[in-house]
Structure 1
Amino acid sequence: MSQTQGSTGEQTVRSRAGERSARDPLSTDEGRISVSQSVVTKIAGVACREVGGVHDMGTSGGRAVGALRERIPGSSGPSVSQGVAVEVGETQAAIDLDIVVEYGISIADLGKSVQRNVKQTVERMTGLEVTEININVDDVYLPDEGQETAPRVS
């Protein structure tokens, strides 16, 4: 940066540094902060699951693998990153989510709520600008799907 003489020039230099920090919260006078893709993936996964009406995440194949993983003794259960794909740049992130919704929930309203919660949480925690959140509804959970029905004839 070139310095200009006088108080007006000094204010301009300070103003530019302040503007840079306001536009890019991950760049400071002390250095640069970088956030890895795996961090954004976990944050987005947790934020998505916080929204009522999201029953599960992932495609049918991913959920099947997660179910198998849960049955292995000592496993930590399903991954919070299941059903989440992200692209992270220097200052921006784009997120794709595969979800299973509970039956009876408005998919449009739920999608908007998920987008809002994920965007706010990722931006607040990472300082990245979330440019888009794409949601793919992979399935609808029916409460009696996982339960065996009693035989009608005995």
Structure 2
Amino acid sequence: MVTPKGTTSIDSGVVAKIAGLSAREVSGVYNMGVGTARALGAVRGMVGGDKSTATQGVSVEVGERQAAVDLDLVVEYGVAIPDLAASVRRNVITGVERMTGLEVTEVNIKVDDVHLPEQDREGGGRTDQAEAGPRVQ
């Protein structure tokens, strides 16, 4: 953004943080990032309170006037994914455009996992298929 009094540039990390926080505000988003990134983020959080979790699961491409956002989401079980995606997309576009003045050209959403309520209980609520043997061969 160029004005008669100077230029303003916005780092891609700023856009990623805004997009990540905007996505997490939507009810039904349990977490963000693919499994490995979530596990590493949890370990970092236990060790030193890592602040990169705001951008976990977010990648952006930022130009002079426009931005494109890619999100990896984990959704709560029972949430209608198309409705959730529309809400996340709307919230991210509003947040990024309002705070940065950049036009958001697209918000691509990939749902990587579904969080089950049993996963919060002790033991994870998982039944071990290995004991029963494989269901298909």
| TM-score computed with the length of structure 2 as normaliser | 0.85
SS in 2 for 1:51: coil
Write the mapping of 1:1-150 to structure 2, written as runs, cut at 5 A: 26-72=1-47, 74-76=48-50, 79-148=53-122
Query: Which stretches in structure 2 are left out of the alignment for 5+ residues?
Result: 126-137
CA distance in 2, matches of 1:78, 1:87: 18
Query: Which stretches in structure 1 are left out of the alignment for 5+ residues?
Result: 1-25
Q: Encode CA deviations 1:90-115: one digit per residue, 9 max, x unaligned.
A: 00000000000000000000000000
Root mean square deviation of aligned Cα: 1.5
Q: Indicate conservation of the 8 Å contact 1:83/1:97, yes or no.
A: yes
Greater C-alpha radius of gyration = 1
Distance change (3 Å), C-alpha of 1:27 and 1:78 = closer
Q: Indicate conservation of the 8 Å contact 1:98/1:137, yes or no.
A: yes
Q: How many residues align?
A: 124
Q: Encode CA deviations 1:47-70: one digit per residue, 9 max, x unaligned.
A: 000000000000011001011112
SS in 2 for 1:90: coil
Q: Percent identity?
A: 56
| TM-score computed with the length of structure 1 as normaliser | 0.76
SS in 1 for 2:10: coil
The corresponding residue for 1:4 is none
Runs of 4+ in 1 over 6 A off after TM superposition: none
